[in-house]
A and B are shown apart, each in its own frame.
Chain A
Amino acid sequence: MKVALFVTCLVDSLYPQVGEAMVRLLHRLGVDVDFPEQQTCCGQPAFNSGYWDDAREVARTLLDAFDPYDYVVSPSGSCCGMIYHYYPDLFAGDAESRRRAAALTEKTYEFSQFLVRVLEVSDVGASFPARATYHPSCHGSRLLGVRDEPLELLRHVRGLELVPLPYAADCCGFGGTFAVKMGELSSAMVEDKVRHVEETQAQVLVGTDMGCLMNIGGRMAREGRRVRVMHLAQLLYEGTQAQHRREIVG
């Protein structure tokens, strides 16, 4: 099975460690991913702002990059949601691109989805003794339908105490360009989110989208909060390393 990583522009440029954790974890699970370099971005920033022509040209980099693969796996529910939910509309005008977009839609999986649904793995053998809470990203859960998979993976992490996040389904206020364009509104939303995270007294906030995590983490950093913000792939990979060390020592 030929698997490509769709790393997303955000992870590529700002959080490469997330992509790396994902690649390493998949490697542990026997899946070697490839990284076709033509890929850049799903086009969402332009798409959501109404510039569909610009978005389409950018989105084509994905059609080209992932053509030869059986599966595409990505650390972002939002970017996968973009492909899954909006590419059919975005490429509606051109039959050939539409066909290629449909093919991409078929084989694209968000990271936790890929583990649980494709690899049928819900226990990666990780151990992570900490109190954690999980923020479901809006696009991952609502556009893509990723709801239980991240929780299923987290439930199997040894030592992890998973506490429910109040108002978990409420948007953190990121929304891409919304966060800049409607800065005050977005800030008010993320302040609520941070307060709810605080209420859980979690040491770790886990998510499946670096957009949300950048937003929530950015607010917590400004406030000097000590909650560690992690992508699910990071937590799982780090957990397997800890488990691995324990096995060697023990």
Chain B
Amino acid sequence: MEEQAFLARIRERLGRQDGAPVAPYRRGAPEFWTGRSLSSADRVSTFVERFAQQGGQAWVCPDLTDLHNRLEGFLRDLAPPAIGVWGGDTLKEFQIDGLLARFTVLRWGEAPAKSFADTHVGITGCAAAIADTGTLMMAADAWRGRSVHLLPTVHIALLHARQIKTRLGEALPKPGERVPSSLHFVSGPSRSSDIENDLSIGVHGPAAVYALVLAVEGT
């Protein structure tokens, strides 16, 4: 159907004039919700707690050394044949190139996108995290491919404590802001209860999601 005819039908049914203005309304979350905010310490602890409730695991790393030790520990245990990593300088602050050196690493933007189907671990940063719900916000661009965190069995996200917001509304794009082609909010591993209500993890997306929260500012 022709667009204007489609819209005209709606307008007519609603009894609205062409170009009639929109009445004001109570937009967004209730004020008691938007008005609250957690302290930075509470944001971190709440995120870690809620992320775990969602089936993920998050650790607070006091410094880069600790973060490296943990990451190295995961990789040692997982022994992944191939690791997918965000490309460019996106993870520079976390200085992980050294510890990745002994693995087969596919970098987004360099290795062919299709090859990421065979990665077992994906290492990414995130655009923001949400304490309330234990959520990672992933925003796509040339160096931050969607496949890096979507296709592997294990997704490891590295983030700074300062990236954790209290509630979702703080992370969502503001009016007029340029919105990335893909914003992906991830709260825990892939799950399904379609077989007799029995929860199963990792049905399509990653079966494990880890978050390493760097408590101090990176250099």
A and B touch in the complex (CB under 8 A): no
Point out residues on B near A: beta carbons under 8 Å.
none
Point out residues on A near B: beta carbons under 8 Å.
none
